[in-house]
Amino acid sequence: MRELVLDTETTGLDPKDGHRVIELACVELINYIPTGAYWHWYFNPERDVPKAATDVHGLTNQFLANKPLIGAVAHEIVETLGDARLIIHNAPFDMGFLNHEFGRLGLPPLDMERVTDTLALARRKHPGSPNNLDALCRRYGIDNGARTKHGALLDSELLADVYLRLIGAEQAGLNFATQATTDAAEAEIAVQVRPEPLPPLISPEEETAHAAFAASLGEKGIWNRYPQKSE
């Protein structure tokens, strides 16, 4: 199974307000094992980068001025994503921006059905706790000392570690996931059937009392919705 842990940086919070994607990165997992393969792009957004956004990710107008337009590498991005499952933290944000960019270019949108949102996973696993990327790195003992600002590639690498811990697959490097699948497919499972059924645990008096109670419920009693055991 191929998965891509993906992150973006943008000029703002909402593509409907004219904000654009300026950085995209993803790292590859195969059967929950990091392969070491990664992809990383910067884009000229054809607009200014507000100071508030630069304060978050450090990307400036001057730095992005000579970078390609996203349209110039869009087909490379689509080919890279392929049919991989996408692992994204706060997926609606990144997917909203990517699909807005794809829509501008006349490309089909990415389907949310192929996405695993690690923020939703973390909220279910650790309700009531901070679940941003820094907090999850602290929780799982992942070194994020190099993360002085947001950056798509570093955040993707950190998120890959967080994701594997969230799903309990941090030992996947030992190939447990693949081996488990193989074992399940190849194993011959023997089921031992009791030669005689176990004796009932209720007494005849209790059985009679229960039958009387069930009869007292009348024809519309919920007990009558279920088939009774035949002797």
Task: Please state, in angstroms and rounded to a whole number, the distance separating the CA atoms of residues 95 and 98.
Answer: 5
Three-state SS at 20: coil
Distance (Å) of CA 227 to CA 165, 209, 224:
45, 19, 7
**From CA 170, how far away is CA 34, in angstroms rounded?**
10
- Roughly how many angstroms between the first and final C-alpha of the chain, as a whole number? 50
The pair phi, psi for residue 69, each rounded to 5°, is: -70, 150
- CB-count exposure of residue 159 (10 Å: 0-12, 13-18, 19+): buried
Host H or E run for residue 229: none
- The identity of residue 177, as a single letter, is A
Residues marked active site are found at 150
